[in-house]
Each structure stands twice: as structure tokens, then as C-alpha cells.
A and B are shown apart, each in its own frame.
Chain A
């Protein structure tokens, strides 16, 4: 089932707003790394943080005590709905589905809550913080802000979860009682996450992220949110046409791998499935970790001629948000016929990488490919009508 992308919203370390972030990426901008330290930690880490200016203007009583992750999600979700021209009222409130993609969730408040328990004892546990530690808190806040009363799901997983959420939206939209589905991917970064990924040998101490590098020096974590409004194609509204002619032509459920070799096989199979129709470029999820090699092997096997772009050197690895970011990038590239430069990729890469700003005018189809570091992979095919 094809679904139209009726609107998009974007909050990133390069700022917020789809067009503003897109311009910066085209320009070759790279987010600035911020040091993150912790009172009891013996080292500090680098992360790409969302600038405070990206969240100004977002005021709602429901967000008064909400964590950053909920604020990112609300900002991106509201932008996407506005771009789609979708108004929520008593009639439409149950006809708009909401699907969230999250990996680590509200880790800042979770850590703060548990810190009080460990340091002071259970009697110091905060009843205000605890609800914000729950995975579906960001979805709950956005549903409340919008007044949505129908289908709301929070999907958890690794870096592939954003595309899995789009697959879920495709399944959910089979239900004729839904007109739209708002899919939001969101994540916040914290020292604890950086430390965990470092101990797992997936994090590097400072930028740059070097995608597809044999050195596999790791990623830099980032934060933010991405949101898209999906609409069923037969019901084209004026707003949808205005928002653009980009569709999710096919969402693939992907698979789960145990070892890298299995990831290569699943990715190759999935790419072959998705590229039965000619594909012009691929938005890769390469992030400088072991999984890049699996992705590279699969790309070389299945779509050796496709142009490849990865945004992670510029925006960082935002895990739960990353799949939505890739889809937004793919949609923008199809719409404007241009790919931003892929930063810090080795010049002798065997892949056809967009090393500099590259025209792709006339491109009809693109793949967004997500290979998570926690055993999940997924993909979607975008098309321009």
C-alpha cells in the first residue's frame, strides 16, 4: 500500500524546520560536538545536542515537566501536522493514528529518578519523575497536546525502529477508519548512554563520524526528532497535494540478525526486494560502527550503481529518530533533485557516494536503509509521483 507523505517536521543538532536543516545539509554543515560529563564519571564524551533555540515557542501545560525527548517530539510532530494542513477536531481526533519510534527513551529523567533511589533510598523516589521514565510518555504528551483519541503506539527498538514504525503505520493504515498517521521518531542524549555505547565499543571520543571506514572507530550520539504525516493515497486532500508528491511506496519489515554476516544477508535480501523497481539513490544509515561493513556489502551486491548518501557525520547517530531523519532526507532529495555531500567518507570508497552536493534531478525512487547496532534492520522505498 502506498502512502503519501503529507507533511514533515525536523528537530536536529543543526536546528529545526525541514527547509532550514535541509539548506544547512546541502551547504555541507556539520553539527558542533558538545562535551558531556557526569559527576561520578571519570571521562567526558562528545555528543551533538539540539540547540535551545530549536525549542523556543513550544509552550504547553502538558510539557511543563516533560523531558527533552518529549519536547523534541512535540516540536517535530506539530511542524509535520502544520505542513500537512491537518487540523485536529472532535471529528478527526480518532481518525489520526500516532506511532512513535524510540530506542533509549527518556534516559535523563530515568537516570535522575534512579539516582535518587540509589543515593538517598526509595523514599526519595520522585512521583513526578517516574511517569516521564515510561517509554510512551512522549507519545502520551503529544496525543494530549493534539487531543488525539484513537490509535497510539510506541515502538521500541534500535536504529531501525524509525523505519519499523513506518512499516507499522502501513499496517495500521489498512484500517479504513484512519485518514492519517503521524509517525514520530525521537531520542535524547545523555552521558550514561555515551558511556554505555563506549563500553560496547561503538562510540568514538570525538567527531568526525567516518562512515564505511575500515577502522570502525564508532559513532557520535545525537538527539532530536523527525516526524512525517502519512495519508492514504486515494483520499488526496488539497493539503496533501500542496505538501508534495512524495510517497512511501513500500515499507519492508526487515529482520533481526545475530551476527554481522547474517545482517549482510538480510540487508541484501531486503535491498533486492525493495529495488525490484529501479532505484536512483540510497539514504544509508552508516555511522562508523561494525554495521557499516554489512551495509556496504549489501549495497555492493544488490544496488551497485545506486548513489549513496549518509547524514550521520553531519547530524550524528540519533538512534530512535534516525530512521525518520533518513526518510525526510530522501523525500527532500527527491523533491529538490539534489543530494547533500556525504561528509568524511574515504575518497576511495567502492560505493558511489555523493562526496559533494550532487544533482539527482529526474530521480524517481530512493531507499532509506536502517541497520541498527542491536540486531534489527529495516528499509523503505520512497517515490515521487
Chain B
């Protein structure tokens, strides 16, 4: 990707700074709570409360409390009626904008998989069961995937900018950040907001359960006893800016995004190619785009869903490219938030780079016999982290990796 400034004599690529970030996830509201949960290896997965899971194999998920989401939001009734996905994006964007109040984005690129799906569910159930359809216009109006982004822009920025909403399944968040990175890197844009969001929904929960991809047990990425994923939810926003411009205005730079790789493997709509070619190509392309070597990577935040297939394939690809780099899947602590996952995990990488520690992979007992990985087992630990790689892979064989670098003050 992004073969700019190469032998064709084209323009030198711009450097891309992350100047602000905001996050809400089962790990907590905001960067500080998220950091605290990561450092203390908190298990934030709990029994599902939003809908009945009595007939599902899996009974747990990483969830965000509605009380927490509504706290601090405007008293405006219109805002309260928005979908909870909108509330999540508002929280994340607000936290980011508090760090850079003068930030004027030209574009927003956001990843999601299901938009306001739970409103679609309410609408269908009410229709099917001849229920009360008084709220149908609200459900319908708040269902589209772009709505939470536009809501958050209106509520936090007070104005709207063009938005691109990427739905590349579970890779959406990383794809959104990667595309936003390339927009700034190419010099076509100076400032872009990016990230991802997804709220838990019955349809999606049941879908993963039907595939037997989710587990009735704990989520144990890369463990020999792993049995599947648990779902999660959340939102994260990153403000990207041309590094030169950010420095010129004296902005605080949280990290630099230096590389992005995307690949598509066409093996199966829900299963990765067992050879690991898709994830390997995404990681190789991210390194190539950053003009870095595998030896320079200090930490990998793996996609690590804890499904048999994903972890085997990702583990194989990582061990083919990297030699003993510490790896963890923070989904073990908060579940898989689908379209938000790549964005939330990019924030996890930012925190690892800023605070010089390795986030943990909890519920880990013993490494799968077929894998050769250096898993950050169960506890976070201090480490020199200068470069971090974040992976996201999704249905449809879509694979994405981004590479982030610590920026010395």
C-alpha cells in the first residue's frame, strides 16, 4: 500500500500524527479508565443483559452500561433518543476533541459492521408481533450506519464534515484508520477524524452463536483450550493530522501512524485461508508501507478472537514474520467489538506506546501446541515499546494491519 515517494519520483509521503484519541469500551470510559483496566488485567466480560440469551451457547459479552452512556450527555431529549451507538461515538469524539478543541477535520472515516441494528430489531419485532409502532420513525431514522457519526459531529463539533463509513466486517475499524492514514499521508487531506463503533445487537450475537464461533466459556486467545470468542461493543475516535502541521502549531502528538496493509483472501466467506496468506500479506504490506522491518516491532495487538481457525491462522502468520515479538489479544478482556475493535485496539496500542507497557492476554493457561508465540500472559508488564502493530481480520477474507510508532517529546 501507499507506494508514494518511491522510484517513480513522486511526492514524498507526509507523516501522520495521532493528535488526540477518545474511547469507550467495556474496559471503561476514556483513556484513563482504559489504561487502568489494561494495567490491572481486568476481565470486563459479563453475562448479557440487553436481550435473552437463554437459547444461545454463549451467555456473556463485553458491555457498556446505559447509565454510563447517558451520563454527561446533553439533557436534550433528541440526543437521549439517539441509538446507543450514537451515544458511544459522542463520548469517544468528545474525549478526543477536549484534547484538541481547535481541530477542524476535513473528513471523517469510520468503521462499523451493524450501525443501529438493535433499532432494526425492535422495528421488526413490533411489526411481527403487532406491537406498538409509535416509535417506528425514530427506530428507522436512527438505523443507518452513518447516523451515529453525523449525530456525534453535530453534538460535539457543532458542524458536519463529509463522512465515509466503511463496513468491512471485523476489519472495519482498522480499515477506517488505515484509509484515513493514507488520506493524510498522500497530502490530499491535512486533518481527518477516524475510528470505529459498534453496539451489541441480538441479531449479530445470535449469528455468531449459530456459527458456533462464540464460547460458553472464557475467551482464551491463543490458548490450547480456547473455544471461541465473546462479543463486545464500543467506540474509539482518533484525530489524525499532518505531523509537520501538528508540530508547527505546537500540538501534543500521541503517536505516529507509519504503515497500513490491507489484503483480501478468497478462501471462504467466514473462514480464513489456513495457510495464513491473508493476515501475512496485511502485516507484510503494513511493514512495507512503513519501510520498517519485522525486527523493529516491539508489540503486536493481535486480532486474536480465540476461535480455533482465527488464532491458528493468525498465529502461524505472526510466527512466519516475527521472531518472538510479544503478542496479546485484548479481546480476552473486553470481547470483540467488531467494527469498533480495530479502533479500540489502536487506542490500546497508543497507550502501550505512551506508557511503555505490554497489555495482557488474560484467561491464558497454555499456548496452543501448534503455535510459536510470545504471549503476554495474564498480566501487563513494563516494556520498551517503540513500534506496535495492530491486526484486524474479518468475514469475507478482509485483513488489515496498521503500524504505530512512539513519538519522543
What is the interface of chain A, defined by CB distance below 8 A to chain B?
40-41, 94, 98, 102-103, 110-111, 113-115, 117-119, 121-123, 125-127, 130-137, 139-141, 143-144, 147-158, 164, 167-168, 171-172, 174-177, 192, 195-197, 199-200, 253-258, 374-376, 378
Assess whether B147 is interfacial by the CB under 8 Å rule: yes
A122 in contact with B133 given A155-B164, A156-B165 (CB within 8 Å): no
Say how far B220's CB is from chain A's closest CB, in angstroms. Answer: 22
Assess whether B49 is interfacial by the CB under 8 Å rule: no
In the assembled complex, 14 residue pairs joining A and B whose CB atoms fall closer than 8 Å, in A order, are A41-B127, A113-B203, A114-B121, A122-B56, A122-B209, A134-B395, A137-B396, A143-B396, A167-B164, A175-B3, A176-B8, A253-B107, A255-B162, A258-B154
A136 in contact with B4 given A143-B397, A256-B161 (CB within 8 Å): no
Whether A164 contacts B164 by the Cβ 8 Å rule is yes
Assess whether B35 is interfacial by the CB under 8 Å rule: no
A171 in contact with B168 given A110-B203, A113-B207 (CB within 8 Å): no
Tell which of A114, A136, A196 touches B168, judged by Cβ atoms closer than 8 Å.
A136
Interface of chain A, main secondary structure? mixed
A150 in contact with B262 given A117-B206, A199-B140 (CB within 8 Å): yes
Tell which of A136, A156, A192, A196 touches B395, judged by Cβ atoms closer than 8 Å.
A136
Assess whether B128 is interfacial by the CB under 8 Å rule: yes
Q: Please, how many angstroms separate the alpha-carbon atoms of A316 and B169 in the complex?
A: 29
Q: Which of A156, A257, A378 neighbours the largest number of chain B CB atoms within 10 Å of its CB?
A: A156
Q: Which residues of B contact A176 (CB under 8 A)?
A: 3-4, 6, 8, 10
Whether B124 contacts A118 by the Cβ 8 Å rule is yes
Q: Which residues of A contact B249 (CB under 8 A)?
A: none
Whether A122 contacts B395 by the Cβ 8 Å rule is no
Tell which of B141, B212, B264 touches A150, judged by Cβ atoms closer than 8 Å.
B264
A175 in contact with B1 given A118-B125, A135-B167, A153-B166 (CB within 8 Å): yes
Q: Please, how many angstroms separate the alpha-carbon atoms of A144 and B270 in the complex?
A: 12
Say how far B22's CB is from chain A's closest CB, in angstroms. Answer: 20
Binds A, one of B92-100, B180-188, B222-230, B366-374: B180-188
Closest CB pairs A-B (n = 3): A140-B396, A135-B167, A130-B207
Q: Which residues of B contact A174 (CB under 8 A)?
A: 4, 182, 186, 188
Q: Which residues of B contact A132 (CB under 8 A)?
A: 269
Say how far B152's CB is from chain A's closest CB, in angstroms. Answer: 11
Sample of 15 further A-B pairs with CB below 8 A, known A199-B137, A256-B146: A117-B206, A118-B124, A123-B55, A133-B207, A135-B145, A136-B167, A137-B396, A152-B264, A155-B165, A155-B166, A156-B167, A157-B144, A177-B3, A192-B127, A199-B133
Whether A126 contacts B128 by the Cβ 8 Å rule is no
When C-beta atoms are compared, the residue in chain A nearest to B269 turns out to be: A131
Assess whether B163 is interfacial by the CB under 8 Å rule: yes
What is the interface of chain B, defined by CB distance below 8 A to chain A?
1-4, 6, 8, 10, 53-56, 106-107, 112-113, 115, 121, 123-125, 127-130, 133, 136-137, 140-141, 143-147, 150, 153-154, 160-169, 175, 179, 182-183, 186, 188, 202-203, 206-212, 262-266, 269-270, 281, 394-398
Q: Which residues of A contact B144 (CB under 8 A)?
A: 103, 156-158, 374
Whether B263 contacts A150 by the Cβ 8 Å rule is yes
Q: Which residues of B contact A134 (CB under 8 A)?
A: 113, 167, 169, 395-396
Whether A131 contacts B395 by the Cβ 8 Å rule is yes
Tell which of B1, B162, B202, B207 touches A177, judged by Cβ atoms closer than 8 Å.
B1
Q: Please, how many angstroms separate the alpha-carbon atoms of A119 and B107 in the complex?
A: 42
When C-beta atoms are compared, the residue in chain B nearest to A138 turns out to be: B396
Whether B206 contacts A154 by the Cβ 8 Å rule is no
A102 in contact with B167 given A113-B203, A121-B55, A255-B162 (CB within 8 Å): yes
Q: Please, how many angstroms separate the alpha-carbon atoms of A134 and B207 in the complex?
A: 10
Q: Please, how many angstroms separate the alpha-carbon atoms of A111 and B106 in the complex?
A: 37
Whether A255 contacts B56 by the Cβ 8 Å rule is no
Whether A157 contacts B145 by the Cβ 8 Å rule is yes
Say how far A10's CB is from chain B's closest CB, in angstroms. Answer: 24
Q: Please, how many angstroms separate the alpha-carbon atoms of A140 and B33 in the complex?
A: 37
Q: Please, how many angstroms separate the alpha-carbon atoms of A200 and B147 in the complex?
A: 15
Q: Which residues of A contact B266 (CB under 8 A)?
A: 140, 143-144, 147-149
Whether B263 contacts A374 by the Cβ 8 Å rule is no
Whether B188 contacts A117 by the Cβ 8 Å rule is no
Q: Please, how many angstroms separate the alpha-carbon atoms of A148 and B136 in the complex?
A: 40
Tell which of A40, A139, A171, A257 touches B160, judged by Cβ atoms closer than 8 Å.
A257
Q: Please, how many angstroms separate the alpha-carbon atoms of A151 and B397 in the complex?
A: 11
Tell which of A152, A376, A378 touches B398, judged by Cβ atoms closer than 8 Å.
A152
Q: Which residues of A contact B264 (CB under 8 A)?
A: 98, 140, 143, 148-152
Q: Which of B10, B162, B262 neighbours the largest number of chain A CB atoms within 10 Å of its CB?
A: B162
A154 in contact with B124 given A174-B4, A177-B3 (CB within 8 Å): no
A374 in contact with B124 given A102-B167, A114-B203, A127-B211 (CB within 8 Å): no
Whether B128 contacts A40 by the Cβ 8 Å rule is yes
When C-beta atoms are compared, the residue in chain B nearest to A151 turns out to be: B262
Q: Please, how many angstroms separate the alpha-carbon atoms of A125 and B129 in the complex?
A: 18
Q: Which of B143, B209, B269 neighbours the largest number of chain A CB atoms within 10 Å of its CB?
A: B269
Q: Please, how many angstroms separate the alpha-carbon atoms of A132 and B397 in the complex?
A: 13
Whether B182 contacts A153 by the Cβ 8 Å rule is no
When C-beta atoms are compared, the residue in chain B nearest to A192 turns out to be: B124
Whether B2 contacts A200 by the Cβ 8 Å rule is no
Q: Which residues of B contact A121 (CB under 8 A)?
A: 55
Q: Please, how many angstroms separate the alpha-carbon atoms of A183 and B8 in the complex?
A: 26
Q: Please, how many angstroms separate the alpha-carbon atoms of A326 and B136 in the complex?
A: 31
Tell which of B10, B154, B161, B203 touches A117, judged by Cβ atoms closer than 8 Å.
B203
Q: Please, how many angstroms separate the alpha-carbon atoms of A152 and B183 in the complex?
A: 16
